[in-house]
Amino acid sequence: MLSKLLKYDLKPIYKIALAFGLPIILCALLLNLTSYDYVKVHNDDGHIIDLVPAAPPVVQFLHTLFYDFTGILGIALILFMVLNTWKNFRHSFYSDTAYLTHTLPVSRQTLWTSKFLSAIIASGIIVIILAVACYILQATPGGRGVASCFGWAYDAPSAYYPMLMLNTFVALSFVTTGGLTSIILGYSMRKHHTGFSIIWGIVLLLSALIIIEFISELCGVDQISLINFLGITNHVSNFSNIGYVINSILGWIIIYCAALAIFYYIGNQRLKRGINLE
């Protein structure tokens, strides 16, 4: 039954992946195709006085357009996927039609497990789409500028890229599943469910981050945390050391899997006490 539920929960996720994934990859390809060089302009003394685009205005316009669209679509993919996962969960468990979900011949734990796994899979799909797009963007200087916005550093050590994908996957899974647990905690209150869900989300994620940082320091795991994730390219040089990479991978897997397990446990225990549909 879990497989059937999971298949159903993944349908809207696949739709968003197609709606954003194909345009992102298409824009990345067109960005490369409209890429152009600059021609040096010299004065009478032979000194360079300017750099002029070696392309007609229409090509320059299209290149800028695809440059902007690629970055915007990448960010939109992340936001829509995460927010839609939260929305579908709230609709299935706490909306006016939620009784249809809770009258299914399946345990509430199985329902929760399906939603939790679908959130993690959604994070993986985001990472795959962004990784493919960034790989394509590496072909041109303009594309590399867009890829760098997602932490994809050009000419970084080979070990850096799987670690970047792992870090992105962990960050997205952490936020998405933490949001699901926060919705459950928020709806355990009698009133102001949305407000309490937001408050619980902030408290839960910040508390988890502080604990993770403390455990990481205690265990000697030299990791790139979610807090400084946006500054990940500052740590590229570390990835030339394979020992560092292996240590970080093992540390991340253990610590963040434990955090995800705690989110799952909290949500499961809260759901066992009942559902507040008021």
Domain boundaries, the chain: 2-19+67-272
Q: How many CB atoms are closer than 10 A to CB 16?
A: 19
For residue 224, pLDDT over 50 is answered with no
For residue 7, pLDDT over 50 is answered with yes
pLDDT number for residue 115: 92
pLDDT number for residue 233: 43
Tens of pLDDT, residue by residue over 34-52, are 887 766 555 556 555 555 5
Q: Which residue has the higher pLDDT, 53 or 267?
A: 267
Please report which confidence band the pLDDT of residue 58 belongs to, taking 50, 70 and 90 as the band edges.
Answer: confident
pLDDT number for residue 61: 87
For residue 127, pLDDT over 90 is answered with yes
Q: Which residue has the higher pLDDT, 73 or 6?
A: 73
Q: Residue 132: what residue type?
A: V
Mean pLDDT (the chain) is 79
Please report which confidence band the pLDDT of residue 258 belongs to, taking 50, 70 and 90 as the band edges.
Answer: confident
For range 103-123, the mean pLDDT: 89
pLDDT number for residue 232: 45
Q: Which residue has the higher pLDDT, 32 or 155?
A: 32
What is the Cα–Cα distance from 114 to 270, expressed in whole angstroms? Answer: 16
pLDDT number for residue 215: 67
pLDDT number for residue 239: 54
**pTM (predicted TM-score):** 0.82
In order of 22, 103, 121, 158, 266, the CA distances from 109 in angstroms are: 35, 13, 18, 41, 12
For range 177-193, the mean pLDDT: 84
Q: What percent of the chain has pLDDT over 70?
A: 76
For range 179-187, the mean pLDDT: 89
For range 130-150, the mean pLDDT: 88
The encoded tokens of residue 69 equal 């669209």
Query: Residue 41: exposed, middle, or buried by beta-carbon count in 10 A (0-12, 13-18, 19+)?
Result: exposed
pLDDT number for residue 128: 95
pLDDT number for residue 250: 63
Least confident of 29-33, 60-64, 132-136: 60-64
For range 79-86, the mean pLDDT: 93
In order of 4, 12, 22, 123, the CA distances from 8 in angstroms are: 6, 8, 22, 17
Tens of pLDDT, residue by residue over 156-166, are 777 677 777 88
What is the Cα–Cα distance from 138 to 148, expressed in whole angstroms? Answer: 10
Please report which confidence band the pLDDT of residue 252 belongs to, taking 50, 70 and 90 as the band edges.
Answer: low
pLDDT number for residue 195: 81
Q: Which residue has the higher pLDDT, 83 or 273?
A: 83
